[in-house]
């Protein structure tokens, strides 16, 4: 955890005219001059003015890959884990490569994983969803039965309660893939849980649900009935296709805005009861020990949060001049209404530009364009949601919650940009 | 092409109460009774009340697949081609499996392909984008240069001009994957083309662009400057990650709402000129020969269109009673404002339910729930866009365009549901 002594004066954001001037300078470096002058110095036979090899012969035909995959040149864009974090990989986590992604949709192959007993590999023909307990008519549904209910579509983020948890005591992991990568965002399709519960017929004393996974851990959490009757879904598709096995194929519970461990994967049953079950996942885990010894539990909604994905430690800066800063913001309580960016560790803030759809309980993409002179920077972003909640500093969070916690760290992240363009995870006092 | 004599009376859409009654019947079949009574008759050791094998042992750990893929049980969800359509697969087409998808996002591995010289496999370090012709300052941009411009995100459909082209003379291919599968919809990220052209500096007589691909076919089309300065993009990402090779990695032109052949893949240069180039792709191909011998060309925007994706020939009906009909609608001229569904070959129409985001020039998902008695049906859908344009019948299209055409067939599709639940591609007179 470094504490840079020199906090630079804030560069101004470029006006539209300034952008054009700056990019004209870029054009001067790579435009006419390069076009006319550098071609002769080119070493690769594939660079202009040569005709590249891929223009000289037929490529593979259609359905050479009936289900496509990324270019071999993108082989580094993958989920990664941190081996020392957990004793086994069956109860562990991998991280979304946030620093390499664009927009707000996470490809299905890149969404982070969190398993408690490894990936259940389920034959859908031999999977059932049971709904029982305080209902008039217990149900045992095949997947085809589930698909016969009216369905809905929704783009939603999913964040692990422990995302950024390794950073509670200080800056630790160098890369937003590792500090913030336990979040992804896809379009889910499924049946509103409300319709399944109506089908089963809730008894008047029905107050809580216990969803259970068909994995070896039989992952279970208590969910209050109000959420189940609001916007909860039993989903079978993400981004248009069936759930991937590591995301709960063939069924997962979707609880928009709420912490990921409650979105039970490989969903096999939902028991209806009149009080919470006090499972291991809501007593030993997924509660936070406060400084005074009390436990903070049932912390379901994810607080507003943001992170600058690029530049960041795994995506250093290569150019001075006009620079595109890109990041993600989200809130479990609604839409993002504003994101501010600071280049000087929180002294001065300017409004970022939100681009693309700004949806309820979904990732929101923001940009901030500025001129980088080569001076050191302390990059920060701060999300505000439609309830008026403002993302706090890490210091403010620690004043309230102490240092015993793992969960719900939504403090403002700082990246220290060195004159070399390299970037470090740091904290400012 | 069959012409069923019996056109059934239209079933009424179920009211909310009717849905519940119907689904209670479903519950009766698979609910309490099955739960209590059928368990003993179960043959598989994985069905309740047994504990399935996937709950009895640890599964694979995290990053066992650093880039994920679908369950092995979804191996049939793939792009497919029709071998007799083209002489080679390097200049051919594969089809999106629309009947198996949900929502409006197409996974990157499932978007249809149309190549003219096979898939160019490009090393991004040795790829350049040249902008030249009627500009003040020709540019030769690396990918890193392109990424230094301000970027935007947009969900857009992409449809081949020849989608449904095999159906001009009559119902031919049995499955909406083949009749309508040359369309997909993803979130693109890239730089507005307008900014690149501003950087190069358009001369006053700049009226047309010639984008060219780095594939063996050097695919080229003339694009009017008005579109380039409106919503055109040079994209490098789809659904958050780099373009897949078959979709133009590392750069493709995006022209929202316009026919796919103009969205040049593997984009290597954009020449600026003062008139169209009259390339093969806008004279020999991608024009339509009208009955009077004139050629209908420069048909850029895709007309409003829709298709019922399920039930459909590759997704037959397995149940009587409450049925979810699902489909997609889109328009190259704006948002979808309404979709109507007919169960009786166009005699009676009822409003479908639009679900999920309804975005400009994007796929829109619609549903229609009804009770199926087992009688034959003639399923149709009809899209209306915000300009008031109404998707025409095939007969109306042919009156205007004759039978020589391949392109821009947006006529209303008919699926004939047999009492067995099997479904055929047909036309009604």
Say if strands B152-159 and B241-242 run parallel, antiparallel, or are unpaired: unpaired
Segment A1-15 mean pLDDT: 47
**H helical segments located in B149-265:** 176-180, 193-200, 225-229
Nearest to B30 among A30, A79, A145 (CB): A145
DSSP state of A360: T
pLDDT at A69 over 80: yes
pLDDT of residue B43: 74
At residue B379, φ and ψ (nearest 5 deg) are -85, 135
Rounded to an integer, the average pLDDT of A246-275 is 98
- Specify the fold of B305-426: Immunoglobulin-like (2.60.40)
* B-interface mutation test, from A13, A19, A26, A27, most B Cβ less than 10 A away: A27
Q: Would you kindly state where each structural domain of chain A is located, as residue ranges?
A: 83-296, 305-426
Looking at residue A351, its pLDDT comes to 98
Can you give the pLDDT at residue B35?
34
Cis peptide before B281 (omega within 30 of 0): no
Chain B residues with CB inside 8 Å of A138's CB?
Answer: 31-32, 35
**What's the CA angle centered on A400, arms A396 and A405, to 5 degrees?**
100
Contact between chains at B359 and A359 (C-beta distance less than 8 A): no
Read off the pLDDT of residues A334-384 as tens digits, 9 standing for 90 and up.
Answer: 999 999 999 999 999 999 999 999 999 999 999 999 999 999 999 999 999
User: What does the alpha-carbon distance between residue A114 and residue A36 come to, in Å, rounded to a whole number?
Assistant: 52
Strand ranges of the sheet holding B336-342, from the earlier edge strand across to the other edge: B350-351, B336-342, B377-385, B414-417, B423-426
In terms of Cβ atoms closer than 10 Å to its own Cβ (0-12, 13-18, 19+), residue A137 is middle
For B61, the closest chain A residue by CA position comes to A90
Contacting residues of A for B61, CB less than 8 Å apart: 88-90, 92, 115, 118-119
Q: Do B138 and A31 lie within an 8 Å CB cutoff? A: yes
Buried b (16+ CB within 10 A) or exposed e, B268-279: bbbbbbeebbeb
Q: What is the pLDDT of residue A253?
A: 98
Query: Contact B56/A216, CB-based, under 8 Å?
Result: yes
Q: Is the pLDDT of residue A6 over 70?
A: no
State the CATH architecture for B120-162+184-296. Answer: Alpha-Beta Complex (3.90)
Helices and strands (H and E) in chain B: how many: 8, 23
- Judged by CB atoms closer than 8 Å, whether chains meet at A102 and B189 is answered as yes
Distance CA(B270)–CA(B44), nearest Å, equals 61
Mutate to test the interface with A, among B46, B85, B140 (most CBs of A within 10 A): B140
Give the residue among B212, B91, B192 at the shortest CA–CA distance from A48: B212
Asked if A94 and B324 come within 8 Å (Cβ–Cβ), the reply is no
pLDDT for the residue numbered B3: 39
CB atoms under 10 Å from CB of A115, counted, come to 28
Quote ipTM for the complex: 0.92
C-alpha triplet B226, B230, B234: angle, nearest 5°: 105
Distances (CA, A) of A254 to A236, A237, A265, B30: 10, 11, 9, 24
Quote the pLDDT of residue B196. 98
Residues in chain B closer than 8 A to A90 (CB atoms): 58-61
User: For residue B405, what pLDDT is reported?
Assistant: 86
DSSP string over A313-358: TTB----SEEEEEEEEEE-TTS-EEEEEEESBTTSS-EEPEEES--
Q: In chain A, pLDDT over 70 holds for what percent of residues?
A: 90
Distance between CA B152 and CA B234 in Å, rounded? 10
Closest-CA residue in chain A for B213?
Answer: A55
Contact B264, B220 (CB under 8 A): yes
Residues of chain A with Cβ-Cβ distance to B327 below 8 Å are none
Residues of chain B neighbouring A62 (CB-CB closer than 8 A): 79, 81, 89, 92-94, 113-115, 246
CB atoms within 10 A of CB A2: 11
Chain B contacts of A114, Cβ < 8 Å? Answer: 62
User: Are residues B20 and A199, on separate chains, in Cβ contact within 8 Å?
Assistant: yes
Q: How far apart are CA A358 and CA A353, in angstroms?
A: 11
Task: Give the Cα separation of A222 and A276 in Å (integer).
Answer: 5
CA–CA distance, B274 with B224 (Å, rounded to integer)? 9
Of A78, A107, A122, the CB nearest to B240: A107
Sort out which chain B residues have CB atoms less than 8 A from A47's CB and list them.
Answer: 126, 128
State whether A153 and B104 contact (CB < 8 Å): yes
Give the closest of A62, A123, A322 to B148, CB-based: A322
Closest CA to A331 of A308, A348, A300, A306: A306
Residues A322 and A29 sit within 8 Å (Cβ to Cβ): no
Chain A residue numbers with beta carbons less than 8 Å from the beta carbon of B57 are 216
Task: State the pLDDT confidence band at A284, using cuts at 50, 70 and 90.
Answer: confident
If chain B, 429 residues long, is cut into consecutive pieces of 10 residues, what is the mean pLDDT of each piece?
A: 43 49 40 37 82 96 98 98 95 98 98 98 97 98 97 98 94 96 98 98 98 97 98 98 98 98 98 96 88 90 98 96 98 98 98 98 98 97 98 95 92 98 94
DSSP code of residue A14: P
Shortest CB distance from B126 goes to which of A44, A123, A155? A44
**Residue A27: band (very low, low, confident or very high) from pLDDT cuts 50, 70, 90:** very low
CB distance B274 to B205 below 8 Å? yes
Average pLDDT of every residue of chain A: 91
Q: Name which of A217, A242, A414 is nearest A327 in CA terms.
A: A414
pLDDT of residue B1: 35
Give B307 to chain A, closest Cα distance, Å.
Answer: 16
Q: Are A254 and A233 in contact, with CB atoms under 8 Å apart?
A: yes
Query: Given this model, what pLDDT does residue A17 score?
Result: 41
- Which chain B residue shows the shortest CA-CA distance from A311? B148
| pLDDT category of residue A28 using cuts at 50, 70 and 90 | very low
- Which among B21, B198, B241 is the top mutation candidate for probing chain A, defined by the most A β-carbons within 10 Å of its own β-carbon? B241
Query: Which of B26, B46, B88, B103 to probe by mutation at the A interface, max A CB count within 10 Å?
Result: B103
Q: Are A246 and B65 a contacting pair at CB < 8 A? A: yes
Going by C-alpha positions, the residue among B154, B302, B301, B160 that lies closest to residue B238 is B154
Look at B61 and A88 and tell me if their CB atoms are within 8 Å: yes
CB contact under 8 A, A66 and B79: yes
CA distance A166 to A171: 8
**pLDDT higher at B4 or A184:** A184
What DSSP state is assigned to residue B291? T
Q: Which residues in chain A are contacts of B127 at CB distance < 8 A?
A: 46, 52
8 Å CB contact between A397 and A304: no
Distance CA B29, CA A342 (A): 60
pLDDT of residue A358: 98
Q: What is the pLDDT of residues A33-53, one digit of tens each?
A: 333 334 444 578 999 999 999
Tell me, rounded to whole angstroms, the distance of Cα B253 from its chain centroid.
Answer: 17
Chain B CB contacts of A18 under 8 Å are none
CA A37 to chain B, closest CA, distance in angstroms equals 11
What CATH number belongs to A83-296? 3.90.420.10
Chain B hits for A154, Cβ within 8 Å: 356
Distance, CA of B42 to CA of B40 (rounded, Å):
6
Interface-testing mutation among A39, A102, A151, A360, with chain B (most B C-beta atoms within 10 A): A102
Give A408-417 pLDDT, tens digit per residue. 999 999 999 9
């Amino acid at each position: 955890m470094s504490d840079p002594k020199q906090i630079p004066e804030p560069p101004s954001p470029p006006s539209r005219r300034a952008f054009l001037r700056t990019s004209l300078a870029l054009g001067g470096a790579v435009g006419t001059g390069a076009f006319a002058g550098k071609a002769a110095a080119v070493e690769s036979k594939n660079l202009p003015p040569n005709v590249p090899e891929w223009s000289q012969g037929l490529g593979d035909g259609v359905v050479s890959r009936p289900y496509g995959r990324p270019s071999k040149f993108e082989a580094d864009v993958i989920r990664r884990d941190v081996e020392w974090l957990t004793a086994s990989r069956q109860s562990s986590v991998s991280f979304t490569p946030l620093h390499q992604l664009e927009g707000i949709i996470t490809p299905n192959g890149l969404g982070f994983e969190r398993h408690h007993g490894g990936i259940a590999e389920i034959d859908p023909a031999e999977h059932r969803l049971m709904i029982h307990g305080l209902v008039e008519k217990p149900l045992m549904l095949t997947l085809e039965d589930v698909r016969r209910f009216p369905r809905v579509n929704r783009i939603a983020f999913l964040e692990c309660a422990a995302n950024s948890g390794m950073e509670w005591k200080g800056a630790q992991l160098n890369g937003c893939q590792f500090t913030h990568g336990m979040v992804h965002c896809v379009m889910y399709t499924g049946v509103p849980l409300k319709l399944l519960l109506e089908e089963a017929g809730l008894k008047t004393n029905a107050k809580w649900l216990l969803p259970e996974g068909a994995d070896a851990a039989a992952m279970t959490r208590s969910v209050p009935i109000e959420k189940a009757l609001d916007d909860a879904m039993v989903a079978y598709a993400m981004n248009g296709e069936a759930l991937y096995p590591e995301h709960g194929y063939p069924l997962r519970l979707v609880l928009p805005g709420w912490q990921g461990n409650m979105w039970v994967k490989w969903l096999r049953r939902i028991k209806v009861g009149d009080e919470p079950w006090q499972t291991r996942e809501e007593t030993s885990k997924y509660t936070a020990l406060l400084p005074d010894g009390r436990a903070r539990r049932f912390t379901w909604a994810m607080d507003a949060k943001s992170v600058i994905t690029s530049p960041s430690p795994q995506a250093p800066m290569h150019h001075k001049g006009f620079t595109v800063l890109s990041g993600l913001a989200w809130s479990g309580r609604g839409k993002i209404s504003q994101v501010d960016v600071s280049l000087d560790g929180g002294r001065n803030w300017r409004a970022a530009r939100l681009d693309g759809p700004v949806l309820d309980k979904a990732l929101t993409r923001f940009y901030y364009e500025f001129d980088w002179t080569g001076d050191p920077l302390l990059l920060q972003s701060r999300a505000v949601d439609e309830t008026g909640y403002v993302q706090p500093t890490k210091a403010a969070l620690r004043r309230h919650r102490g240092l015993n916690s793992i969960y719900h760290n939504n403090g403002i992240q700082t990246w220290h940009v060195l004159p070399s363009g390299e970037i470090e995870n740091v904290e400012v006092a």
